[in-house]
Chains A and B, each alone.
Chain A
Amino acid sequence: MKTVLILVLSLIGCSGSIDEPVSYFNVETPRPFGYVNGDEISQRIIIETRSGITLQTGSLPAKGPINRWLNLNQITVKQSGQRYQIDLRYQVFYAPLEVKVLTLPGFTVQLSQGEKSVGKSIPAWSFTLSPLRELVVRQTEQGEYLRPDSPPSIFANDRALYGLAASLSVAALITAYLGYLYACFPGMSRRTVFKRALRKLSGLSKADMELALTIIHHGINRLNGQPLFYKQLEDFYLRNPQYRQISAELAWFFNYSNRYFFAVGMIVVAQDLQQLKDLCERCRRIERGSQ
């Protein structure tokens, strides 16, 4: 009885099921039929090893021709912990006369733990390959039927056209906006009030002070939409806040105008006309939006 027990325990110990180096193994293959000459066949091998056991990537088949009719185009190994995912992409170059069974050859991968090494065989995989053409060749006027040359592609100009349209649109929009800012459009006379006033002032001398003052008054009135007087300046600034920055100059203008038209014995100097021109210049810059 004792002997039998020792024998059973020894057999369990020698079975190796506990020390199996691979905890999970699977070969994922596509359909085994319906392939033709030149097709690529992918194969995925999943190996999960016990801890401390590593896959020797050098034992995997090398990229290139396996035999006369089979090429290994790509082989990639992804490792995450003890899990190895081996992706193989074969390509078949065989012209069968009828549907034929072919086999992707199996191989052995080496797993190692320290100096010890153990092999895990990957089984061969069979599939069927079909012919693409009939046994008796089809004849054309030129001889045997062949697929024609591939004509060169016409260049796509979509991206260039999109670029053209986009750049043109941006240029047009910016031009329109600048035109608006510089008052280049008809009907935007409110933005050219001081432009015209400045032009009229340019040829005047201090003897034409009355005309100069009238020109600026007309300009300000036109901008305001109605005649503007000194006391209404605050309302004017509320409606046109950009002109508040020249409030001192505008106040001087209204005072000077009052004195010129209503005071007696007013003496005009060239400096006054220059100040009016400067005021008009600043108003012009404000209406253009550059100040």
Chain B
Amino acid sequence: MIRTARHISLWAVLAFSLAAFVYSAALVYGIHQDNNLIRQLISGKDVVINKVISGEPELRLARAFYFKQKHRYDEALSTLSLIIDKGDKKFQAKARYNLGNLYLEQAMQQIKATNMHEALPLAGLAKQAYRQALALDSSNWDAKYNLEVAMRLLPEMDRINMPDDDSSVNQKSQLWTTVPGFPRGLP
């Protein structure tokens, strides 16, 4: 009786381990396929959209990365907006950082074309995206750097007044801080 039970349990464990093997093999294959798609998108080659839609959010992030490389900003924006609240905090921070880059790059292009009215809201959106990315992951140095770029591009309106600040200097600073753009050289 005990031997029969032992045989049954051995067969059951064998069946379970074979099922686990098939499941793990399918998982490894799926990961391999997804990684291939991501590598393809990063290298600048488009993939079939169905594979991206049915896949993980990382695939959409990769597709937005691809669109941005090709300067297809609207498609990159719509792709990123679908995954902005997906995944863990690290992933959300990454998606928001890339969103900030998307806005900032467009803002810079508008400034180059002297379309200030177009550039201002884009720079504001970029700052907002970077702030959100840093609130989720304050160790993201790239977001810190690019936020500083965006803040220099569109400085905050209210300056911090310290007791030792000279009022005349303050007045001068306020004048140029309202104009978006970077200082091109030292006086």
**Are A144 and B14 in contact, CB atoms less than 8 angstroms apart?**
no
For B148, give its contact among A132, A148, A160, A166 (CB under 8 Å): A132
Q: What residues of B have a CB within 8 angstroms of the CB of A100 in the complex?
A: 160, 162
Report A28-71 CB contacts with B as 1/0, cut-off 8 Å.
00000000111110000000000000000000000000001101
**Are A91 and B135 in contact, CB atoms less than 8 angstroms apart?**
yes
**Are B148 and A95 in contact, CB atoms less than 8 angstroms apart?**
yes
Secondary structure class of chain B's binding surface, majority of residues: helix
**Are B14 and A174 in contact, CB atoms less than 8 angstroms apart?**
yes
- Using a CB-CB cutoff of 8 Å, which residues 126-141 of chain B contact chain A? 130-131, 134-135, 138, 140-141
Q: Known contacts being A137-B182, A164-B28, is A171 close to B142, with CB within 8 Å? A: no
Question: CB of B149 within 8 A of chain A?
Answer: yes
For B146, give its contact among A147, A152, A161, A171 (CB under 8 Å): A147
A contact residues, total (Cβ < 8 Å) = 53
**Are B3 and A289 in contact, CB atoms less than 8 angstroms apart?**
yes
B contact residues, total (Cβ < 8 Å) = 66
For A170, give its contact among B13, B68, B149 (CB under 8 Å): B13
**Are B98 and A150 in contact, CB atoms less than 8 angstroms apart?**
yes
Question: CB of B117 within 8 A of chain A?
Answer: no
CA distance A192 to B152 in the complex (A): 86
**Separation in Å of the B72 CB from the closest CB of chain A?**
14
Question: CB of B108 within 8 A of chain A?
Answer: yes
Give me 8 other A-B pairs in contact (C-beta within 8 A), A95-B147, A154-B39, A157-B28 excluded: A71-B131, A102-B160, A137-B149, A147-B146, A148-B101, A164-B25, A290-B7, A291-B4
Residue ranges of A at the interface with B (Cβ–Cβ < 8 Å): 36-40, 68-69, 71, 73, 91, 93-95, 100-102, 131-133, 135-137, 143-144, 146-157, 160-161, 163-164, 166-168, 170-171, 174-175, 177-178, 181, 289-291
